[in-house]
Structure 1
Amino acid sequence: MCLATYEMENFEFLLGMNIWYDILFAVNSVSKIMQSKDMHIDVAIDHLRESTKEMAIEMDIEPKFSEKRKIHRKKHFYDIDSDEIAHSAEDFFRIDYFLYILNQSISSIESRFEQFLEYENMFGFLFDSNKFKTLREDELKKYYINLEKILSFEDHSDIDCLDLFSKLKLLKEILTNEINAPLKILNYIKR
């Protein structure tokens, strides 16, 4: 019997494959939505926030990020080494495989969500053309100055905030209700 056949007849292998399939299916579905050309990142962020808050409330969990801290304990000579604790095969699989995958998935999702929040803080004023068109001039300036700081290194900047401000102020006045999606706006600017 070859190794592949032996592994495929192994219950732990099949369970692991099932877990990975479910995780990757969910991630792939969300990834396809996030990559669609008519996806609005501000809407996606709001949806993530709301659905996560609803889930937290249903589970009676406070809807906020908690600070993580590591607990270190001094090991004494009479302590049992964690490797010496006997676990059943199910406990071993749950602890060393399932919970590990779950922790990695949660960590990855948290880092992506934090990235989206960072993008929203930097470029959020550009995500929604309706919000963009309703910004007052002082709010618009504040966003551009912030963007210039973010895109600067030492005394060098990738953008001139006043030049960008004047161009986007003009764009704000030119945009119509028909030109509202990011792709439509880019095509309009390109023309």
Structure 2
Amino acid sequence: MLKKTSSFTSESRTTLKTLNPTRWSGRILSISAVKLRYLDIIKSLTEIELQSHKKEEREEASSIKKQMCCFEFVFISTMLYKIFTQVNFASNVLQKKNIDLSESVTVLEQVEKNLTDLRSSWEILMIEATALANKWNIQPEFRQKRQPKVKKHFDKLLSDYRFNNSQILFKINVFNVVMNRVLTQISNRFRSMKKINKLFDLLLPKIILS
């Protein structure tokens, strides 16, 4: 575990948060703190890397710093912030004491729609991530990964094509996978709630009163 350094002053109101896996609000607070204090985190990691007398601490600080000083980290931070914002909104609304089943379903459907829109907003996320990368003095380019060489035959099928563009690879292997998983989870977890609401909507107070 890395030690705290003097880089995080008492003057700042935003500090790094310990992730609480049982509360969605903890996730949005954690990613917000990292985004707001990014430069201080890098400064602290650099101090540990240069000044720590423990080899394990120096290696850990160097590894974390390397992972944070790349465009992949910037993009993922931007993407997760938007995902957690939507999920946290739904979580807070569903915890209201006076919420009914119909309102719950409406909120979940809106969040699902917003996340579906986010799934189609790759270009917008790229613009936002690029602006943030420039602010943090990070080259706004995905790292090029070596692709396995495939023997070429005269009857080679198009399905064997290997993408060489790092941006396309990241979109396919990370962005699409994450967004598809989030949408699938939300749809599956609340499918029963939607069915029940549809079956018994005639019993809802607002329907009876109208």
Query: Which TM class, normalised by the smaller chain length?
Result: 0.3 to 0.5
Instruction: Considering Cα pairs closer than 8 Å and 6+ residues apart, tell me whether 1 or 2 has the greater RCO.
Output: 1
TM-score, normalised via structure 2 length = 0.43
Higher gyration radius (CA): 1
TM-score for the superposition, normalised by structure 1: 0.47
